[in-house]
Structure 1
Amino acid sequence: EIYEGNVWSFLNKAIDKGEKYDIVIVDPPAFIQSREGFRKGYEAYRRLFQQAASLVAEEGILFLSSCSFFLQRERFLKLIHETMLKRYDYAIVDVGRVSGDHVLRHIDKHLDYLKTAYVYVRKRE
């Protein structure tokens, strides 16, 4: 099943119902749109990733993404680690970025904004 809509409403309802999924895909808009908004946006990503992870079945795949330029790749991966460490056994299976047909030039670092991660998740007992 594919759901589209307000992610916060969906997550709250799904968590309340105890729903579980084999694959959870999280593709939010840019939560960090400036350096000044970093902390607030980072916490929004953390909350989103934690709630999404709680919907994964005993074992499953969590696909996470960010299109916030101000959340650099290393911080994105650190955020995933912080989110998963206490509750899950996990492995980051693959890390992605913009597709090959997307122009990336050394002088245009702002174009390298998209980060993705496929995370294998297993709940700890």
Structure 2
Amino acid sequence: MPSLSLESEVEALLTQLEAKSPIIYDLGTPQIVETQAVRDLLALGQPILPYLLDRLQTASPKVTAYLVFVLGQLGDSSTIIPLQTVRTRYKNISNKSEWEYVVIGQCNIAIDNLEPVNSSP
């Protein structure tokens, strides 16, 4: 079987995430669960950043929440501005769905983890 291109592999994993039902709900809001697809995306590492950032523009809120989670886990601070943009876009949606709230929450977590800590006294 021929190997998938990196972009095709990312797309296949994102399709799995779209089909995944959350296992955990907290106060009625679905929580991101580290599934095998998430672990596989993380294992692909930094080379997938361009694909993930591109998909932030068009993915469903559910997949976007997982994308944000993965971006935060990959730990590249160059993703802070795109994550801030996504967070603002989702904050500006009126009548948010449960997954749109998850996107905002995951953006907050990822941005907090990626921003450098101010070490001044």
TM-score range, shorter chain: 0.3 to 0.5
TM-score, normalising length: structure 2: 0.37
Larger helix proportion of the pair = 2
TM-score, normalising length: structure 1: 0.36
Larger strand proportion of the pair = 1
